[in-house]
């Protein structure tokens, strides 16, 4: 994998995601200095339990993204349930109630495409466990913008569909287990 200055990380996850995030996020160093922005597919009626739970396990701050919130380093942001999460050119968040994409809202593709437009070659995209192909086109867009693309090893994923869909259409930089992914991210910091 090429070594370049990454300014932000985006990740997409669906079925099996809570376990994946419970495994990955607590392994990040307390000095981790990049923002991580995550879409986890969940019902629109979901409350803030997921962000609160992950924050209690993590050494770095985990919170739900809010409209017009500036993106800070060393923070993990989760897309709020029922909203697409986008990144604006001024590096703030925007929330949208637009139609579902890939049958979901929030959609991984929506986040990844807006992030690729803002961060271009300084973006790292990650696809984790989940059903359907959400995130595959977005990861392809990140690669086209010069960013890095990582995918959870389908054999390590609870549900391999999202990683396999991404691998099928994108020349990924690496296929890693969750533990390997945590090590890789800590080396970026």
CA distance linking residue 189 with residue 187, whole number of Å: 5
Query: Residue 23 falls within a domain, yes or no?
Result: yes
Domain that holds residue 12: 8-188
Query: Residue 16 falls within a domain, yes or no?
Result: yes
134 is catalytic: yes
Query: Residue 73 falls within a domain, yes or no?
Result: yes
Q: What pTM does this model have?
A: 0.94
14 is catalytic: yes
We report the CATH number of the domain holding residue 123 as 3.40.50.180
Query: Residue 50 falls within a domain, yes or no?
Result: yes
CA 160-162-164 angle, to 5 degrees, is 65
161 is catalytic: no
**Token pair for residue 51?**
């962000």
Catalytic residue among 14, 58, 107, 133: 14
Query: Residue 40 falls within a domain, yes or no?
Result: yes
- How many C-beta atoms lie closer than 10 Å to residue 91's C-beta? 14
CA 5-22-55 angle, to 5 degrees, is 80
Number of domains the chain contains: 1
pLDDT at 101: 66
Catalytic residue among 41, 58, 84, 107: 41
Catalytic residue among 109, 134, 156, 161: 134
Query: Residue 2 falls within a domain, yes or no?
Result: no
pLDDT, one tens digit for every residue, the chain (189 residues): 444 589 999 999 999 999 999 999 999 999 999 999 999 988 666 777 888 999 999 999 999 999 999 999 999 999 999 899 999 999 999 998 778 767 777 999 999 999 999 999 999 999 999 999 999 999 999 999 999 999 999 999 999 999 999 999 999 999 999 999 999 999 998
Query: Residue 175 falls within a domain, yes or no?
Result: yes
Query: Residue 1 falls within a domain, yes or no?
Result: no
């Amino acid at each position: 994998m090429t070594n370049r200055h990454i300014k932000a990380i985006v990740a997409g996850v669906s079925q099996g995601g809570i376990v994946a995030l419970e495994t990955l996020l607590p392994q990040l160093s307390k000095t981790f200095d990049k923002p991580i922005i995550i879409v986890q597919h969940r019902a629109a009626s979901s409350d803030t339990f997921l962000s609160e739970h992950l924050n209690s396990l993590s050494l770095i701050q985990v919170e739900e993204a809010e409209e017009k919130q500036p993106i800070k380093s060393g923070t993990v942001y989760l897309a709020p349930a029922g909203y697409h999460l986008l990144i604006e050119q001024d590096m703030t968040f925007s929330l949208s109630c637009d139609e579902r994409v890939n049958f979901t809202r929030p959609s991984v593709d929506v986040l990844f495409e807006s992030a690729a437009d803002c961060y271009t070659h300084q973006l790292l995209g990650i696809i984790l466990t989940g059903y359907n192909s959400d995130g595959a086109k977005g990861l392809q867009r990140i690669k086209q913008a010069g960013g890095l693309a990582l995918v959870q090893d389908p054999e390590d994923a609870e549900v391999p569909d999202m990683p396999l869909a991404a691998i099928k259409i994108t020349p990924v930089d690496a296929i890693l287990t969750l533990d390997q992914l945590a090590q890789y991210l800590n080396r970026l910091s």
